[in-house]
Structure 1
Amino acid sequence: MPPMDPMRSAHAKLLAGDFLSLAASPSAAPSFSRRGRPVSRAEAAGIVVSYDRRPKLLRFLLDDGSGCIPCVLWLNHHFLPQSPAFSSRENIAAAASAADVHAGKVRLGELVRVRGRVTGFRGVLQITVKDVLVERDPNAETLHWLQCLKLARDCYDLPPPPAPARRA
């Protein structure tokens, strides 16, 4: 069995230009890749330039200067992670409340950092948001840019790890 690529389980810090260039991988489960390396989770930072709040979800665009990343934050408990932690009504209510708190942070013109899963909807890449953090440091966006460039050069653009040699 080939070793698992560490990028598969990490939140890749990506600029919008890199995020929007992710390629859909041909497999049964929807997955995405960057230069042959799997990307399933992403982190982005930028200014909220539009949002549309509905009863079950919040859609917004995050502009980091290199493009706009579509983001969706589910407010409906049916779309929250399915795990034993969400089995009781109290835990479902707590998770829905946390989603409402995150949704309250998304305002036009606000500099935010989001983390979540890379998903596709109707042929458009988006981040299904898990966490939203309002950045108070005016340098946060520039630091995010620098981190993205460094990670791309030192980690993301490296070839995938080779499969181990099979013994006869």
Structure 2
Amino acid sequence: MQSSAMDPAEEPASILWGLDPIFSAFARLYVGDILDMVESTQVPGIYFYNLHPIFNVDVFGTVVYKKEREDFFCYGVDDGTGVINCLCWKNNSSNEDEGPTKSGQKCSHGAQGDFSPVAELEKLRQSQRSRCHLEIGELLRVRGPVKTSRQQREIMASTYYKVNDPVMAVQITWMTEVHELYKLCYDKRLQLQPVVMGDLAISSVCKASSIIKDFFKQKLVTKFRPCDVQDLLQPLISSHPQTPESVKVLSSCQELRQLTKEALQVLQDEGTVYRKVKSEDEVYYVTVHDKDLFIAIKDIIREDSKREKYAEKGCHILHILSAIRQRYSLNVSRMALELVLKSMECDSDVISMSNDHYTMF
């Protein structure tokens, strides 16, 4: 594959890359998109997807080819959108088989069922080797930086391991979460370049959402309508510098309504508020103050954690989200659910298990 370079005029300045949270994260991108990313002209080894600067990626797929060298494995990983070469270094400990257990020395601590550190270490090494040695058709998860070597895009694995998924539960969860990430983050084209008028609008919306949040904390608001918070934002409109362009576009009343609408949309996107029922009467509920929502989520986790399917690992957050939408409100977002679960966990009402699973005592 020929790695194409980005147009220098379009590429955001490298000093701004840190403003994008994706830059410091392992981006869960489809292999097809990783292969199509364009490389930075400023810093080789940095790539762009929708102007998001990408360095590290997180890939999950099926091994379709395998090459072994003295120090590393080359696995071809196919996630259904493309195949990418993953260079996975062998762990030094996996080659150090001449340890105490192979030197002819016997360890008396393992006799008669006593705990043997040497034996346990050997078991750990065996487990590690089994998770790092894969065959064609097995599932592999790889995390690491993207590189272009000999005109071929590949991943230099910093972490990799075999995934056992006999009933495809891990694959389904992965695909669902990646789809959600694309929808909420990756497919939203990031504008890192400062725009004079845009900065003013963004600053006003941020200030407006902060004012509304403070209002929730002070008054312990459970539900409200836009008209209840609109007057709180009037000072932001009054403080705008008046230019001929802004005067022509909107009256102050229209600006106030527009600012309120945008601030409430920001609060909805981050899960702070939600609309239980979407109707002409715009009623918003404050997520962390809605006791009925807390009770509904508790009931779902309590009931479903008793089922055999969820008894061991607990209920996955996507299962809880689906159930709460069916039983309580179609408009509860994942962000809103995460805020409630975080609050419940702080109060010890629920327990967070691994990989977004929750259960109760």
TM-score range, shorter chain: 0.7 to 0.9
1:31-82 CA-to-partner distances (Å, cap 9, x unmatched) read: 111111111111111111111001132111011112112111134xxxxxxx
Aligned position for 1:129: 157
Give the secondary-structure state (helix, strand or coil) at the position aligned to 1:2: helix
For 1:20 and 1:45, locate their aligned partners in 2 and report how far apart those are by CA, in whole Å: 15
State the alpha-carbon separation in 2 of the partners of residues 142 and 136 from structure 1.
13
Match of 1:39 among 30, 54, 59: 54
Identical pairs, percent: 27
Residue number in structure 1 paired with 2:192: 162
**Aligned counterpart for 1:149 among listed residues 161, 165, 179:** 179
Q: Let me know the Cα RMSD of the aligned residues.
A: 2.5
Q: Residues 47-126 of structure 1 correspond to what in structure 2 (within 5 A)?
A: 47-75=62-90, 96-97=92-93, 101=129, 104-126=132-154
Question: Structure 2: which 5+ runs fail to align?
Answer: 1-14, 96-127, 197-361
Of structures 1 and 2, the larger Rg is shown by 2
> Which 4+ stretches in 1 moved above 6 angstroms?
none
> If each structure's strand is expressed as a fraction of its own residues, which one has the higher value?
1
**TM-score normalized by the length of structure 2:** 0.37
2:27 counterpart residue number: 12
Task: Report deviation, 1:115.
Answer: 0.9
Question: Unmatched 5+ residue regions in structure 1?
Answer: 76-94
For the residues of structure 1 that align with 2:16 and 2:33, how far apart are their CA atoms?
26
Over 3 Å counting, the alpha-carbon distance change for 1:44 and 1:70 in structure 2 is same
> Which has more helix, going by share of residues?
2
TM-score after normalising by structure 1: 0.75
Does 1 or 2 have the higher relative contact order (CA < 8 Å, sep 6+)?
1
